Amino acid sequence: MTNDADRKRDVATSFGNATDGYRDGAVLKEGADLERLVDWTEGATRALDVATGAGHVAGAVAERNVPRVVAADLSPEMVTTATADYGGLEGAVVDAERLPFPAGRFDAVTCRFAAHHFPDPEAFLAEVERVLATGGVFAFEDLAAPADPELASYVNRIERLRDPGHVETASPAQWRDWLEAAGLTVDAVRETSRRLEVDTWLDRMDVPADRRREIRSLLSNAPAALEDAFDFRYADDGERLESYRTGVVLFRARA
């Protein structure tokens, strides 16, 4: 297994190569959950979007007349894409677990659909707490694993096959524990889900044919409890899985 530095380098390269898919993918650039996340930053004057990807969150926050928005990502290509597509953003190539900003610099920090790539989520949250001003808001969204450890392990196995940079999808309860341990006060939680088209989901990371076959085999043989929880939907032949709903959790927390 690679060490954390190697893993982060691999993630940066992988996402740099997948910029177009993340810029154009509807699941990332629109939705009521994105609007909710941005609404939670209302009134901010200095915002930081960690692991900005193609900049959808940072751009939406800037459109709410937040004077300063920093779009930060480990991938230089993603930062370039975000700042090119959304005017007025400041770009920064940063490690989410070692934010190069002074304490109390921001009154809002956002992070959406990225933390499952972080080797040390507790270090990330400690950094969020550090760079937030007193009373500042952290608006967070990520995939959510089932509470059942065996089902969570199955989901994470599939995710790692699709994306070698995937570390772990955690449960909502685990995220709440980590947030509170970091000194952040949770004041809103929203558990929801998003339907993923399997082929589009695989195409976004340009998954090789051998891993696609393995992923589809695991999905075809998934435990019945996971099939029910994720609302599997099949093609007309009843054999090929077309889509499923993956768990999502949003937290608003304050420093």
Contacts of 55 (CB under 8 A, 6+ apart): 49, 71, 78, 81, 82, 83, 85, 86, 89
**pTM (predicted TM-score):** 0.88
Separation of alpha carbons 128 and 48, rounded Å? 9
Can you give the pLDDT at residue 13? 54
> In this structure, are residues 214 and 101 in contact, taking their beta carbons and an 8 Å threshold?
no
Q: What class is the 4-146+165-195+247-254 domain? A: alpha beta
Can you give the pLDDT at residue 237? 75
User: In DSSP terms, which residues pair with 126 in a beta bridge?
Assistant: none
Can you give the pLDDT at residue 31? 86
Each residue's pLDDT, cut to its tens digit, for the chain (255 residues) gives 456 665 555 555 555 455 554 445 545 556 899 999 999 999 999 999 999 999 999 999 999 999 999 999 999 999 999 999 999 999 999 999 999 999 999 999 999 999 999 999 999 999 999 999 999 999 999 999 999 999 999 999 999 999 999 999 999 999 999 999 999 999 999 999 999 999 999 998 999 999 999 999 999 999 999 999 999 999 987 779 999 999 999 999 999
CA distances from 167 to 146, 157, 210 (A): 16, 10, 21
Q: Nearest-5° angle of CA 50, CA 52, CA 57?
A: 100
Can you give the pLDDT at residue 23? 47
Question: Can you give 5-45 as a three-state secondary structure string?
Answer: HHHHHHHHHHHHHCHHHHHHCHHHHCCHHHHHHHHCCCCCC
Give helix then strand counts, H and E, for the chain.
Answer: 12, 8
Q: Nearest-5° angle of CA 245, CA 249, CA 250?
A: 135
> In this structure, are residues 128 and 178 in contact, taking their beta carbons and an 8 Å threshold?
no
